[in-house]
Amino acid sequence: MTDPTLVVWHDHSVARPRGKVVWLTGLSGSGKSTIANAVDVLLNQQGVPSYLLDGDNVRHGLNASPERLAPIHGEAFARRFGLGFGDEDREENIRRIAAVAELFCSAGLIVLTAFVSPFRRDRELARRYVESQGGPGDFVEVFVDTPLEVCERRDPKGLYQKARAGTLRNFTGIDSPYEPPAAPELHLAAGERSVAQLAGEVVDFLGFRSEPDGKPGS
């Protein structure tokens, strides 16, 4: 069947070594963004090109809500392209992020993503897409494993309180499920260790930990 859009793939003339997509997943308040930022700092200090895609930041632009899009683009456009937090919207949120992350990876960067990404299927589709463009090992799933009670106690945005009160629907861990990774490349017991320790563990896994002489590792 012929593609009616006539979209074809154009190979690039410049070949670049690929980076990696480091996909941090966990409950809201688990520390994903904080750990990812700390990893980004460590990599930057060693001269390793990296970029952080944060869940909240991306929803300000690329994956903006209908409410954000409507004043600029109109209600019909906003309903079609804006993303909320229902299951289908979450799936599309992750699909778009995987596509953007792969672009950064193809440019040779270590791409750090910090997204709840609650469903195994969506994370697996993200992995398949990234690895289909490069190969096995390009996608590193990091489970930021923080107990729900710890996340609720932190509640930096007051979201758990709203979810418990019933004023915030489809909130992961309360009235929407979180499916933990079955076999992540890296499992961080985030409720038991400091941010510095956890970030160091990620950097160690990637092979960029500084040696005593200050030079990057392998």
The domain defined by 20-58+87-206 folds into Rossmann fold (3.40.50)
Please report which residue ranges of the chain form alpha helices under DSSP H.
Answer: 32-45, 55-58, 66-73, 75-81, 87-106, 120-133, 148-154, 159-165, 195-206
The values of phi and psi at residue 35, to 5°, are -65, -45
CA distance 184 to 211: 26
Please state the pTM of the whole predicted model. Answer: 0.87
pLDDT value at position 215? 45
- Amino acid 2: pLDDT: 59
Spell out, as residue ranges, where the chain has pLDDT lower than 70.
Answer: 1-4, 210-218
Assess whether 194 carries a catalytic annotation: no
Question: Tokens 């956890």 map to which residue?
Answer: 198
What pLDDT, on a 0 to 100 scale, did the predictor assign at position 193? 87
Residues 6 or more apart in contact with residue 110 via CB below 8 angstroms = 19, 20, 22, 43, 48, 49, 50, 51, 206, 208
Q: Which listed residue (50, 65, 117, 194) is catalytic?
A: 117
Contacts 24+ apart (CB under 8 A), 199-206: 199/35, 199/38, 199/39, 199/41, 199/42, 200/42, 202/22, 202/35, 202/39, 202/142, 203/39, 203/42, 203/43, 205/140, 206/20, 206/22, 206/43, 206/110, 206/140
**CA–CA dist 49, 70 (Å, integer):** 36
Write down the pLDDT at residue 6. Answer: 78
